[in-house]
Amino acid sequence: MTSALVPLLLALGDDELVLGHRHSEWTGWAPHIEEDVAFSSIAQDEIGHAAAYYALASKHLDRTPDEIAFGRSPGEYRNALVCERPNGDWAFTLARHWFYDHAEELRLGSLEGSSDPALAGLATKMRREERYHLLHADMWLKRLAHGPMEGRSKLVEALGNAYADALALFDDIEGEDQALKEGLMTTSSAELRARYQTSITEHLDSVGLSIDAAPHDAEFVASSSGDLIETGENGTSSSRPESSGGRDGVHTKDFDELWEVMTLRYREDPKATW
Amino acid sequence: MTYDEKLQAFNDHIAAGGKVEAEDWMPDDYRKGVLKFIEMHANSEIMGALPEREVLPSAPTLKRKMSLCAKIQDEVGHAQLLYRVAEDLGKPRDAMVSDLVNGRSKFHNVFHYPVRHWGDAALIGWLIDGAALVTQASLRDSSYAPYTRVLKRICAEEQLHLRHGEDITLELASGSEHQRWMFQDALDRWWLAIIHFFGPRSNPEKDLLLRWKVKTETNENLRQEFLDRYVPKILELGFTIPAPVPYLDEASGHWLINDEDIDWEPLEGIKRNDGPETARRLAQRKAMYDDHRWVRDAMTEPVGV
């Protein structure tokens, strides 16, 4: 077994589980019936992906996928904080969905070349499903950016609120140097973040929005000039401190609440079958 | 043709087992009755999502988390299909949803009650979906053809829900003492509401929907079918059925409940949209609806360039 594989799988799986959980909080009362159906579908995909990552991890840990999902203490989860933020309103949900699925696209693309054949195969399979999430997210971005003023301003505000958190999806993963050396990861998180910023800047520009400030006080404004994102010394922006920590198991109060609810039934009787 | 001649021809058509399409001529009372009936069905599907969504975040395994989410998604999808059928009878969906969230229309009694734990997920999936399936299967022969077409799809999906509910129930039944308690506790709280679900005895003389074969079975026949199908299964799993307690009538082989054993009082409040959870659930949905008008606006507005 490789020591870097498990932390990598947990970071990937925890992102999917926690975001899938948040998405599923819309199930049954989303603001629009068609979107209720769509978000439930996306939620199931994400939770299914978490289950698949945990199934790979469980081969190296003496734990079942359910034990990994529900039987850990909050500090053992490695999801990025963006996944655990409360849903807030629909605009924030959509902004996060858009940021996350674009990040996911890049991350899975790089994992397709992983030296671990099971992980590489999984990445290819998931990427096919994620494509629909991306279409859905892009459709909404375009619709709101070009739609009535109220929706557009809500979107702009929500993008600003989620941006720094989204960059922290590419904070280093525990054991990353080792994972790169072993070829489990083909691209460093820092490099992926740089590509990510280029990619989302282009996408936003294509709908007439651009980021014209550093992420710590990111503001999205109408522009067709494609203003560049202000960059840090190494050519990429880093995430702001309060957006980071998730990859090291340092979470927010919101996560503690989510964890209480998500693991409630499981913790009552971990030996039971359900 | 005079109105009376048209009405006679319509009644003859129905009596001969004929079907009605949205664009066909139909008496106003038929249109209004069918609209109200399907609107209530649609409302019930979407309100039915709320009790189950309350147990979804704590689903005990990854598999259950996904399958319960999928199940609720189906119910919302059914609402979508049914609202579309109802819309063709002349009432826009937004008006129906607005009437629902403002308490001006109705939904099934069982969705006015609280859920407490995973036993409720089992019970709703198995017995409430089971009860709904008995009713909906009978409606596949309804005289209103567009309704029968969506019901075919809905019933196929409800079959899967039933298996999902039965599967959860079987796990609880064969589990720990606490797990068995969960199902029994849910059964104790829900049984009377399930009996109410089918409604009081029908009056075929007065019930226009029965006369026009929009509904194909009386309430008491549907309840009987449910009892005969589910009571033996519940007892076989070793659970105890609370009041009104069914008994086996040896002569007919049917599981019966005496009319006088059914307390109809709790249903009265629900008919006025005043059940234990009615106000809270409607307020939640209304807040969601009111706060997100901009989402619906963005959905309907054409995308500019």
pLDDT at position A160 over 70 = yes
pLDDT digit string (tens) for A211-267? 754 454 555 555 444 433 343 344 445 556 789 999 999 999 999 999 999 999 999
Whole-number pLDDT of residue A222: 52
Write out chain A residues lying below 8 Å of B72, CB-based.
Answer: 27-28, 40
Q: Do B56 and A27 touch (CB under 8 A)?
A: yes
pLDDT at position B253 over 70 = yes
**Among partner residues B62, B72, B297, which is closest to A66 by beta-carbon distance?**
B62
pLDDT digit string (tens) for A172-184? 999 999 999 999 9
Residue B104, SS3 per DSSP: coil
CA distance A176 to A266: 31
Q: Do B58 and A33 touch (CB under 8 A)?
A: no
Confidence category of residue B291, pLDDT binned at 50, 70, 90 = very high
**Among partner residues B53, B65, B304, which is closest to A28 by beta-carbon distance?**
B53
Residue B8 near residue B25, CB atoms below 8 Å = no
Q: Do A28 and B76 touch (CB under 8 A)?
A: yes
Q: Lowest mean pLDDT of A162-171, A238-247, B64-73, name the range.
A: A238-247
Whole-number pLDDT of residue A3: 81
Q: Which domains does chain A have, with CATH numbers?
A: 5-268 (1.20.1260.10)
| Residue of chain A nearest B44, judged by CA positions | A28
Q: Do B60 and A274 touch (CB under 8 A)?
A: yes
Stretch B4-14: mean pLDDT: 97
CA distance B58 to B41: 28
Distance set, CA A99 to CA A83, A158, B65, B91 (Å): 11, 11, 24, 38
Query: Mutate which of A24, A68, A262 to disrupt the B interface (most B C-beta within 10 Å)?
Result: A24
CA distance B48 to B45: 5
pLDDT digit string (tens) for A7-46? 999 999 999 999 999 999 999 999 889 999 999 999 999 9
Residue B303: closest CA among A130, A244, A82, A152: A152
Query: Mutate which of B46, B55, B65, B97 to disrupt the A interface (most A C-beta within 10 Å)?
Result: B65
Residue B239 near residue B169, CB atoms below 8 Å = no
What is the DSSP-derived secondary structure letter of residue B117? S
ipTM: 0.94
Any idea what the Cα angle at residue B53 is, between residues B134 and A130, rounded to 5°?
A: 105
**Minimum distance, in Å, between the CA of residue B117 and any CA atom of chain A:** 9
pLDDT at position B23 over 50 = yes
Distance set, CA B8 to CA B79, B141, B142, B152, B204 (Å): 34, 22, 19, 30, 19
Whole-number pLDDT of residue A229: 38
Q: Do A29 and B288 touch (CB under 8 A)?
A: yes
**Minimum distance, in Å, between the CA of residue B190 and any CA atom of chain A:** 21
Residue A246 near residue A168, CB atoms below 8 Å = yes
Look at chain B and count its residues. Answer: 305
pLDDT digit string (tens) for B208-232? 999 999 999 999 999 999 999 999 9
**Among partner residues A25, A143, A147, which is closest to B57 by beta-carbon distance?**
A25
| Residue of chain B nearest A148, judged by CA positions | B298
Within 10 Å of residue B66's Cβ, how many Cβ atoms?
A: 21
Confidence category of residue B299, pLDDT binned at 50, 70, 90 = confident
Residue B95 near residue B28, CB atoms below 8 Å = no
CB pairs under 8 A between A and B: 143
Stretch B56-75: mean pLDDT: 98
**Among partner residues B65, B76, B179, which is closest to A37 by beta-carbon distance?**
B76
Write out chain B residues lying below 8 Å of A44, CB-based.
Answer: 66, 69-70, 73
Q: Do A43 and B61 touch (CB under 8 A)?
A: no
Query: Mutate which of B44, B46, B58 to disrupt the A interface (most A C-beta within 10 Å)?
Result: B58
Q: Do B299 and A32 touch (CB under 8 A)?
A: yes
Q: Quote the mean pLDDT of chain B.
A: 96
pLDDT at position A78 over 50 = yes
Residue A216 near residue A165, CB atoms below 8 Å = no
Query: Mutate which of A22, A129, A265, A268 to disrupt the B interface (most B C-beta within 10 Å)?
Result: A265
Q: Do A265 and B62 touch (CB under 8 A)?
A: no
pLDDT at position A202 over 80 = yes
Distance set, CA B235 to CA A246, B187, B230, B246, B252 (Å): 49, 12, 9, 11, 19
**Minimum distance, in Å, between the CA of residue A161 and any CA atom of chain B:** 19
User: 0.90 exceeded by the pTM?
Assistant: yes
Q: Which domains does chain B have, with CATH numbers?
A: 19-173+267-300 (1.20.1260.10)
Residue B258: closest CA among B207, B218, B220: B220
Pairing of strands B254-256, B247-249: antiparallel
Residue A159, SS3 per DSSP: helix
**Minimum distance, in Å, between the CA of residue B143 and any CA atom of chain A:** 28
| Residue of chain B nearest A139, judged by CA positions | B303
CA distance A39 to B295: 14
Write out chain B residues lying below 8 Å of A266, CB-based.
Answer: 60-61
Whole-number pLDDT of residue A228: 37
**Among partner residues A37, A146, A150, which is closest to B80 by beta-carbon distance?**
A37
pLDDT digit string (tens) for A88-124? 999 999 999 999 999 999 999 999 999 999 999 999 9
**Minimum distance, in Å, between the CA of residue A33 and any CA atom of chain B:** 7
Whole-number pLDDT of residue B301: 73
pLDDT at position B249 over 60 = yes
Write out chain A residues lying below 8 Å of B289, CB-based.
Answer: 31
Q: Do A40 and B76 touch (CB under 8 A)?
A: yes
pLDDT at position B72 over 70 = yes
Residue A247 tokens, joined:
């990859």
